[in-house]
Amino acid sequence: MKSEAKYSRRAILKRLGIGAGFLPLLSTDWSRSRAASAGGFPLRFIGITWTDGICPPDFYPTGAAGALPATLPFSLTPLAAWSSKLLLMRSASKQQSPIDLNVMIDLGAPYGGHFTYPALFTGGVSSPNGTDEVPTVSATTPSIDQIISDNLASTAGISNAQLNVGCRPYSTSTSWRSGGIKNTSQTDPYKLFTSLFGMTDMTATQLGALHARRKSVLDFVGGELTNFSTNLGSDDKAKVQSHLDSIRALEAQLQSSTSSTAVCTAPTITPTGLNFNTITNYPNHVKFMSDLVAAAVICGKSRAVTMDLIDNGGGNSLTFPWLNIPSPDFHAIAHQGSANYDQKSQIDQWFYQQCVAEIVGKLAAATEGNGTVLDNTVILVANDMDEGAAHYVGNIPYVLIGGGGGFLKTGRMVTFPKQVPNNYLLTTILHAMGMTDVTGVGDPKYAGNIDAQLTT
């Protein structure tokens, strides 16, 4: 019998007289997946998307790479309180993003900004169909939220880790289960509230007792493994030691989850009965969904979230009377390009205030050990084009917020000397989520990462 099989997880448990039913408890870290931060807290991902690009002068900082300026660009000012948690990316010589949707450009669609949602979080798309005016495109690979969720299910036995929500996504989505199959967003905050918080959860006492029972089993197995390895040779001892390390990591996770002071509180979703097809209720719609996303993450009800704030068609008919911009609609304003950056920048800032800052603030206020839930989260804010006038799918503006348990080095702007495909960014995010063995996301010809730029 091969030594590797002799001291496999299943073989060792058998020697200890422990049944296979114990395997799921050990599966979390046996694969050495970094599904938790160094402190043992869960790692989370949130993707937030809207359409129509950005206004480069009001979005990208000026100056050299390094610490962020004291005053953030206009569009990003709602995030000023958390600038130390931001990671901005810019081309070295221009105020533009260094991230291209190469898979869209490969299809001969460099100006197809209104059908890029399937590419933003997947990095793999099919050839466009339809007409020049209304092209359609489908993802050919799963999105990173789906990949994270599938990994948690297979390595840690965590089900229902995924949450997909939207405010006006209609039939479009940034989240894809697999090639050709997109995930449907929940768009009704009242229904989402009921599904997330409608059932009574364990009390703190019940949860503590459960953790104590699990840890007592781990204590027993750890002691038995130590005794078991006493008379083994050095190679076999090393294999058993790796199992012991897995058990100690699990103990750390159990301990950290009980010592965390993060408070799980259901948000207040009032008033009830609002019609979210009415434009005047759009601000409430966005805020309700933002609060639910934050609470779902803090309360451990989701670890991989996507949130689409507008459909991929461009926000036709969506006006902003609460910003004193009653007309034209968002799509038309974006098409005016630099001639109407004033109104477009106001709208962009509003999205960062009403949604992104709402989520960031709540995660930053939830303490976990010596840090916060935000410290153990990666938020990726994306848009489907660089600037609304041309619909160009190069220079896609992404913003990273949160450190992924210390994986990302935040509080700075990183400049790139040349363009890179968004596949690299998606791979690095999976690395931040603990999936360090992933070599590429989406189209295999764009395997690679930008770990070096974002972690050092």
User: What is the rounded distance in angstroms from the CA atom of residue 441 to the CA atom of residue 445?
Assistant: 10
Asked if 149 and 182 sit in the same domain, the reply is: yes
**In which residue are the tokens 């939220």 written?**
145
DSSP letter (8 states) at residue 448: -
Helices 23-30 and 144-156, packing angle to 10 deg: 130
Say yes or no: 71 and 137 in one domain.
yes
Q: Are residues 104 and 207 in the same domain?
A: no
State which of 215, 243, 261 marks the end of a domain: 261
Q: Map residue 50 onto helix, strand or coil.
A: strand
- Are residues 288 and 246 part of one domain? no
Domain boundary among 211, 246, 261: 261
- Say what angle helices 282-298 and 357-364 make with each other, to 10 degrees: 30
Q: Are 196 and 292 in contact (CB under 8 A)?
A: yes
Together in a domain, 115 and 25: no
Question: CB count, 10 Å around CB of 149?
Answer: 26
Q: Which residues of the chain have pLDDT under 70?
A: 1-35, 38, 128-135, 199-225, 228-229, 231, 235-262
Task: Give the domain-ending residue among 238, 261, 284.
Answer: 261
Query: 372: helix, coil or strand?
Result: strand
Residues 163 and 232 in one domain: no
Q: Are 25 and 393 in contact (CB under 8 A)?
A: no
Kindly state whether residues 75 and 167 are assigned to the same domain.
yes
CA distance 352 to 333: 18
Residues 269 and 226 in one domain: no
Provide the domain count of the chain: 2
Q: How far is residue 256 from each of residues 39, 196, 263, measured CA to CA in Å?
A: 7, 23, 14
Q: Count of CB atoms within 10 A of residue 89's CB?
A: 22
Contact in structure between 269 and 292 (CB atoms under 8 Å): yes
Residues 384, 301 share a domain: yes
323-to-78, 86, 244, 388 alpha-carbon distances in Å:
15, 26, 58, 19
Q: What is the CATH number of the domain that holds 316?
A: 3.40.720
Number of other CB atoms surrounding residue 214 within 10 Å: 15
- Please spell the DSSP secondary structure of 291-322, one letter per residue: HHHHHHHHTTS-SEEEEE-S-TT--TT--BGG
Q: Do residue 359 and residue 387 come from a single domain?
A: yes
Instruction: Give the side-chain half-sphere CA count within 13 A for 394.
Output: 11
d(CA 425, CA 407) in angstroms, rounded, equals 14
Same domain for 99 and 14: no
pLDDT at position 263 is 78
Write out the residue range of the structural domain in which residue 298 sits: 37-201+264-455
Rounded to 10 degrees, what is the CA torsion of 169, 288, 380, 349? 90
333: its two tokens:
């304003």
| Residues 285 and 191 reside in one and the same domain | yes
Q: How many CB atoms lie within 10 A of CB 389?
A: 17
Q: Which of 164, 167, 176, 106 is nearest to 138 (CA)?
A: 176
